[in-house]
Every structure is written in C-alpha cells, then in structure tokens.
Amino acid sequence: MTTRQPGLRLLFWALMIAVTAHSTVTFFTDRIEQALYREGAAALAADLVIRQNQPVPAAWIAQAARHGLQHSQQINFPSVIFAQGKPHLVQIKAVDSNYPLRGKLQTQHQPGVNIQQPPNPGQAIADPALLHALGTTPQQAIKIPLGARSLKLHGELIQVPDASLNLFQLAPRLLIHRQDAEASGLLGPASRARYRLLLAGTPTAINKFRTWLAPQLSPTSELLTLDNSSPELQQTIQRTQRFLSLAALCASLLAGIGILLATRHYVDSLLAQTAILRTLGMTRRQVFVYHSKPLIRISLSGTGLGLILGYLLQAGLTLWLADWFDQTLPAAGWQPIPQAMIQATLLLSGFALPTLWSVQHMTPHQILRQDQQPANLTQHTAWASAALVFCGLLYWQANDLILTLSIIASLGLMTLILLGGAWCILSIPSRSNRLLAGRAALQRNPGLTRIQIVAYGIALTLLLLLTLIRGDILRTWQDSIPADAPNHFLINIQPDQANPIRKQLATHQITDTGLYPTTRARLSAINDQPVEPTSYQTPRARQLASREYNLGFSDQLQPDNQLISGTWWQPGTPALSIEQELANTLQLQVGDQLTFDIAGQMLHARIANIRRVTWGSFNINFFIQASATLQTHIPHAMITSLHIPADNPGFLRQLAAQFPTVSAINIQPLLDKVSDIIYRGSLAIEGIFLFTLAAAGMISLAALRISRAQRQRDIALLRTLGATRQQLRRYILSEFALLGGLSGLLAAALANSLGNLLGYQFFALTIGFKPEIWLLGGATGLVSVSLLGWQASRPILRQPPLTHLSAS
C-alpha cells in the first residue's frame, strides 16, 4: 500500500470510513430485515407456501430437499363430523409432524398448559367454537368419526400461525394428522381439498426453488409469500424497511461527503507531482496509470479493512442492542461484501478518476505556474460525474425513484441554502475588531469553509431529520393500531342471523365494524374479454387473475380507505371499487367492465374507482368491493370484525352456542405480531441512528485533516508572534464553534422544512415548527464540532512552532 502521500493516506481513511459506515449499517439492517422477515414468515408458518387443488407431486418435494429446504405438507378441506347425534361442519386442517416450519403452534389440553406439538396420528384438536358446539371441553377426550377413521378429540387450538391465510373459512377448524386425512377416504375428486406444500430455508435456496417451480405451476396453483399472503404484515414490514433504508441512506451520504473531502485533498497533493512527472518525460497515459495504481490498491485495502471493521462494529452494535431483541438475530449475510466493493469502486470512479483525468490534461507549465483555469473547466465534468455516481448510489440505496428524486432535489436545495449561509458569514463585513475571532479563521480558506459548512450542514440536517421523523412518524405509526383494534373476525353469518348477532353484540357492549355481505367470486372477463391467467407476464398477476376473491358489498367507503382515482358511487348504482395494488397488477382502470363468476351466476359491473387500503387497521377490507345493489339475487354470507376484550372470554362460547354455523377467527396473534414488528423496527432505527451520528463525527475528522496543515502553519505563526495558549484556544474554539453553530442552525432550518415536506408527502403527517429541533441543531453543531476541532488541534499546540514554519 502506498500511502506516503498525505492526500492518498487521507483518501484511504475516508474510503475505509465510507465502507465501514456503509457495511456496518448494511450488515446490521440485513440481520434486522432477516429477523423481520422471519417474524413475517411465522404468519405463513413457512418462507414459501404452494397452494393448489391437486396433491403436491413427489418430484417437487425431492427437488426442495435437493435445495436443502425443509418441507411440510398440509391438506385443508371442509367436512362434516357427526357427534352427539348431530352433524357439524368443520374445516379440516391436516398437517404432518414438521408443521409449522416457522412460527409457533399452541394448543391447550389443560388450563394454562400450552403445547406446541402438532397432533399425532389418531389425535384431533379443535377450535373453541367446535368444542362448544360438541358440548365438550379441552380437558375432555372424546371420540369423533372422520370418514373411515375414528379420532380422539382432546384439546383446543390457541394459536395457529397461518390462521390468517384462512380468514374466510366457513367452519370451525379441526387440526388432525395428514395420515388420518389420507386414510379417511374423504379426499375424493369432489372433496374441495386444497393441498399445501410449506417450505423453509435460505432466501437463495427459496429463490432457486421458485425459479425451478415457476414453469410447472398450473394456473390454479398459488405461491404464497409474505408479500402476497398477508397485506397487513407486508405493509408493516415495508414501512420498517423504508425507515431502515432512510437510516442507511444517511450513513451513505455522510460517507460520500467524506470521500469528496478526501478526494479534493488528494488531487491537490497530486498537482505538483504530476508536473514533475510530466516534465521528466512521462506521457499523459503513463501519468494516469501511475496515479491510478495507488487508487486501486487503496480501494482494495480500504474496502477490505472497512468491511472487517463494519462487521465487527455491527457485531458490537448487535451485542449492545441484545436486550432489545428477545431472540437471537440471524447471522449477517454475505450481500454487504459485494455491495461494499461496488460502492467503493463507484465512489472512487465517480469522485477521483475524472479529477485525475482532468489533471493529466494540464500542461506541466500550467501546473507549475499554478494556472488552474484548464483544471477548473474540466472540474465541472468531474463534479458532474461525482453527482451522477452519487445519484446512482442514492437510487441503489433507496430503491425508489420518487424517494431518490425527492432526496436529490432536497440535497440540491440544502446545498444552495447552506452555501448561501456560508456566503453570508464569509462576505458580510463584520463589526468585530478581533482578528482572532472565529470568522477570521473561517476566512483562511473560504472554499474549504464552504465545503465544511455544506458537509456539516447536510450531516446535521439528516440527523435532525431522522430525529424529527423518528419521534413524530413512529409515534403516529404506533398510534395507527389503536388499543381497541378489532381482534376477531366473525364469518359465515347468514343474512337472517345479522340482526340477532347485532343484538347479542349490543348486549355485551361489543362494537363491531359493521356487517358486510360477501361472496366468493372468480374474475372471468375484463371488458368482455375472457381472463387468461397465462397471458399475464408476472407470476403475481397470473395468481391474481386465477384466484377466487371475497367480493364485498357495501355503498360505504371504509374510513381508512382512500380514493386514488374515480369517484364514489351513489346508492343504487351498479359499480365496483378496486384495491390499488390489484388494479396496478392486473392493469385495471376506472371504466373497465368486469365479469365475475359466482357459483355459475355471472355478475357484470364497471369499475367506478380505485382505492388505497390501510390493511394494518384490521377493519373489514376487500380487494374488490361492489355496490350494495349488486348483491340482489347473489347468494352471500356476512362478515364483521370486532374487538373482544380479554376480560370477556365467555362471549365467544355463548356466540358459538347460539349461532353454531358462525365461525370466530382470532386475529389477536396477528395483531400482536404487527405491534411487535413496529416496536422492534423503531428500536432498530434508533440503533442505526446512533451509528449515523458516529459517521457524521468521522466526516468532521476528515475535514479537519484537510485543513490541518494550514491550521498548523497559522498556529505556529501566531505562537511565533507571541500568542499565548489561552489566545490560541479561543482562536481555535471560536472557529469551530462558529462553524458548528452556524451549520447546526442552518441544518435545523432545513430539517424542520424537509420534515414537514417528507412527513406530508410520504407519511401524511403535519409536523409544524419545532423550536426544540433548532435548539438541538445549534447546540449539537456547536458542541460536537468544537469538541472534535479542539481534540484534533490540541497536538498542534504542543509541537514547537518551528516545525510547522519550516515545513511551510
């Protein structure tokens, strides 16, 4: 490694800091994302589920095993059991001994004693509603017939991890072993059995298997992942990822500023050397190669060391946050390694190479005469290249075009405002007569002062912005799930049961979200053109085109839904409302006529509007909502969601006794899961926020290194002229206090404005004027920059002035 040149050494440190900052955050967010997805996977009971009408071919299972995937098979079908002389409609869930692959199954045979094992062959475990209908209790064991088999029913289901996949099942659930289902003789062609293959493994293995499986799936097969199985979980995790990306983006931006400062210093240090080499007869190309070689070595060593430090720091960070996670985080993946290498290469290519290229095109005479004109002209190209690379990196990190463009526009605006602030402090005449005031020191190198104000300003703006949105947006986010959010769904309510159920709810003072008619429907034509699932490009679109929907009927727009296009209809008008993501995937537009097949009966209507759904509210929401007038002559049941307080456990038993055909689905575990993810996500963001603060400190040190030589010379000269330590201390501190304080106040102004903009744009929040952010910004800038500046300048005070005067 050639780091004898001070500029190159600084670039090495800056690059190492950049990679350390980036890889620490990437390693850490990678682990948290894995943990969050693991949480999400618990709601699927697997990482990937294949659901279809036919038994799963043995070849698929063999292939899954070859990819190192765990598997579990499941059969779901409705059936009738005869017990106590009465028929009872049940939803059979037949699982094997591997179930579940993710999450926890909880059953109870005795009060307070939870068991996490699936039933053995010959055993059955039932929903509380079924136990009640059968007149038994979890502690009692009774024999129930199931086709050709006789099972021992003992225990109740407390928590079934993939229960949310069956929100619209028609009957209480009976959990049995798969062998019993196969031996029951009930799985004939008319059985309406749905077969599931549950798979779990590494993301790479899952993706490879998905790729292998895709061409073999029939149009009626469904692939269920976290993305498409549970929209409320998906939305929550997406929000968490957006926050984590924002935090990682902050670290990347700060690191980029560090590279920028270091590169500037490196190129300055190259000028004289380039002139000498050219004078001695080196060609332009030879000079370019000569200067590029150390850059490549720097890139490799800085990236390698940065990665090692990043890995160690994230391990320390995880250890430090150990109490925040009640289970071990998954091991860090290898993806941050190539990411860091690409980042380092891009940063060096974008920030250093064009500047090097411009230097080699200067004549030795121009350099020796310090005639910067040609370099200044080509430096515009170098800056443009740096900006382009920076924008590319931003898009890479944000993975969202609108967010990227917003950040670029914001950064441009921030830079202009910060440059304006720097101009004010440097150019407006001062009334102060003090030559050793901070302002005079800042005028030592106006260019570097401007860069430092922009760098400190951007760093502090990002930190303050994160503080602002972390507080306000997370609070709003957590408040979005109220304490009385619905925790149960009641399904399969027959129309004639609606009023008695309403009365029952009123008696128990339980508020429901309204009873909605619903029916199962398959989309058969769009604008009179038959729907062909295979004509769609993406697997997701093919699935949505082939699946059955729960069509809801209501003339009311749910309060937590938002119209994106079109208008809401007048009662009595036949019309449809489509959820935004479904409309986008199937390319549906307002005005399109859709035809649905409802048990052989065709229903036609036009799309009146497209709406955004807040799935996290746990209210009744439909992908497709039809106007109430369309339900006439359509066979339907009703559905509602309600919050049953924990102190009213008897309500469900009474309801099951009075309305045996009505099923209650407990979604409290899902609700708990979403709350848990929100809680952990907010803590993770706080952890990364702390790291971003450290990255800002590193930028400050890089800037100090750049101005160190000049500061050394000034201090040596002042000491020669008789300045005491106290005078020098005041001189140094006033410079950094002014720099930090000014940057902090400008940053506060920017953060407050951007916080309002981003909060409104992306999170529908109004933040308003925040005086505490101004105070925090000014104080943080002043104290942190002063401390860093003082710490970095102290050694200069100890050295004899002659050392620095001789050097200059």
Partner 1 sequence: MQNLTNQPILSASQVTKTLPTSSGNELTLLTDINLTIRTGEAVAILGTSGSGKSTLLGLLAGLDTVSRGEIHIFNQALNTLDEDARARLRAGQVGFVFQSFQLMPNLNALDNVRLPLQLSNAPNQLQQARTLLQSVGLAQREHHLPTQLSGGEQQRVALARAFAGPPRLLFADEPTGNLDNNTSRQIEDLLFSLRDQHQTTLILVTHDERLAQRCDRTLRLHNGQLI
Return the number of the residue (424 or 802) whose C-beta is nearest partner 1. Answer: 802
**Cβ atoms of residues 14 and 699 within 8 Å:** no
The rounded Cα 164 to chain-centroid distance in angstroms is: 22
Tell me if 805 contacts partner 1 by CB under 8 A.
yes
Pairing of strands 86-95, 637-642: unpaired
Stretch that binds partner 1, among 254-262, 311-319, 431-439, 678-686 (CB under 8 A): 431-439
Tell me if 709 contacts partner 1 by CB under 8 A.
no
Return the number of the residue (370 or 509) whose C-beta is nearest partner 1. Answer: 370
Nearest approach, Cβ of residue 614 and partner 1 (Å): 57
The interface with partner 1 within residues 769-798 (CB under 8 A) comprises none
Tell me if 801 contacts partner 1 by CB under 8 A.
yes
Tell me if 275 contacts partner 1 by CB under 8 A.
no
CA distances from 10 to 88, 290, 342, 795 (A): 77, 18, 20, 18
Nearest approach, Cβ of residue 738 and partner 1 (Å): 13
Tell me if 428 contacts partner 1 by CB under 8 A.
no
CA dihedral 690, 692, 696, 697 (to 10 degrees): 40
Q: Pick one of 408, 717, 733, 787: the residue that binds partner 1 (CB under 8 A).
A: 717
Token pair listed for 287: 């000079």
Q: Which amino acid is at 244?
A: L
Nearest approach, Cβ of residue 702 and partner 1 (Å): 22
Tell me if 806 contacts partner 1 by CB under 8 A.
yes
Tell me if 808 contacts partner 1 by CB under 8 A.
yes
Nearest approach, Cβ of residue 262 and partner 1 (Å): 22
Please state the length of the chain.
808
**Cβ atoms of residues 364 and 326 within 8 Å:** no
Alpha-carbon distance of 151 to 751, in angstroms, equals 65
**Cβ atoms of residues 265 and 7 within 8 Å:** yes
Return the number of the residue (110 or 808) whose C-beta is nearest partner 1. Answer: 808
Token pair listed for 243: 């926050």
Residue window 32-61: x/- pattern of binding to partner 1, with contact defined by CB under 8 A: ------------------------------
Return the number of the residue (346 or 440) whose C-beta is nearest partner 1. Answer: 440
Nearest approach, Cβ of residue 710 and partner 1 (Å): 8
Q: How many other C-beta atoms can be found within 10 angstroms of the C-beta atom of residue 6?
A: 16
The rounded Cα 84 to chain-centroid distance in angstroms is: 52
Tell me if 803 contacts partner 1 by CB under 8 A.
yes
Nearest approach, Cβ of residue 435 and partner 1 (Å): 5
Q: Pick one of 528, 722, 766, 769: the residue that binds partner 1 (CB under 8 A).
A: 722
Alpha-carbon distance of 624 to 607, in angstroms, equals 10
Q: How many other C-beta atoms can be found within 10 angstroms of the C-beta atom of residue 597?
A: 16
Half-sphere exposure of 676 (CA within 13 A, CB side): 18
Alpha-carbon distance of 90 to 77, in angstroms, equals 9
Stretch that binds partner 1, among 257-265, 297-305, 695-703, 706-714 (CB under 8 A): 706-714
Nearest approach, Cβ of residue 456 and partner 1 (Å): 19
DSSP element (H, E) containing 92:
strand 86-95
Nearest approach, Cβ of residue 731 and partner 1 (Å): 10
Tell me if 708 contacts partner 1 by CB under 8 A.
no
Q: Pick one of 725, 760, 794, 795: the residue that binds partner 1 (CB under 8 A).
A: 725
Residue 523, judged by CB atoms within 10 A of its CB (0-12, 13-18, 19+), counts as buried
Nearest approach, Cβ of residue 717 and partner 1 (Å): 5
DSSP 8-class letter at 138: T
Token pair listed for 778: 């000014």
Return the number of the residue (480 or 710) whose C-beta is nearest partner 1. Answer: 710
Residue window 434-473: x/- pattern of binding to partner 1, with contact defined by CB under 8 A: xxx---xxxxxx----------------------------
Q: Pick one of 84, 720, 761, 791: the residue that binds partner 1 (CB under 8 A).
A: 720
Nearest in space to 492 (alpha carbons), one of 175, 168, 163, 76 = 168
Tell me if 429 contacts partner 1 by CB under 8 A.
no
Nearest approach, Cβ of residue 433 and partner 1 (Å): 8
Alpha-carbon distance of 588 to 8, in angstroms, equals 57
Nearest approach, Cβ of residue 685 and partner 1 (Å): 42
Stretch that binds partner 1, among 312-320, 322-330, 647-655, 713-721 (CB under 8 A): 713-721
**Cβ atoms of residues 377 and 397 within 8 Å:** no
Alpha-carbon distance of 266 to 369, in angstroms, equals 19
Query: Can you tell me which residue has the tokens 């950094």?
Result: 736
Tell me if 494 contacts partner 1 by CB under 8 A.
no
Q: Pick one of 335, 376, 724, 791: the residue that binds partner 1 (CB under 8 A).
A: 724
Strand-pairing partners, residue 664, are 490
Stretch that binds partner 1, among 432-440, 500-508, 526-534, 582-590 (CB under 8 A): 432-440
Nearest approach, Cβ of residue 801 and partner 1 (Å): 5
Alpha-carbon distance of 791 to 701, in angstroms, equals 10
Alpha-carbon distance of 145 to 52, in angstroms, equals 26
Residue window 169-188: x/- pattern of binding to partner 1, with contact defined by CB under 8 A: --------------------
Nearest approach, Cβ of residue 287 and partner 1 (Å): 28
Tell me if 268 contacts partner 1 by CB under 8 A.
no
Return the number of the residue (436 or 598) whose C-beta is nearest partner 1. Answer: 436
CA distances from 360 to 6, 283, 293, 726 (A): 20, 9, 15, 46
Nearest approach, Cβ of residue 377 and partner 1 (Å): 21
The interface with partner 1 within residues 340-369 (CB under 8 A) comprises none
- 51-53-58 Cα angle (round to 5): 75
Residue 106, judged by CB atoms within 10 A of its CB (0-12, 13-18, 19+), counts as middle
Query: What number of chain residues touch partner 1 (CB under 8 A)?
Result: 30
Q: Pick one of 127, 162, 232, 714: the residue that binds partner 1 (CB under 8 A).
A: 714
Look at residue 632 and give its three-state secondary structure. Answer: coil
Nearest approach, Cβ of residue 426 and partner 1 (Å): 10
Tell me if 432 contacts partner 1 by CB under 8 A.
no
Q: Which amino acid is at 343?
A: Q
Return the number of the residue (297 or 444) whose C-beta is nearest partner 1. Answer: 444
Backbone angles phi, psi at 587, to 5 degrees: 55, 45
Residues that bind partner 1 (CB under 8 A): 434-436, 440-445, 710, 713-714, 717-727, 800-803, 805-806, 808
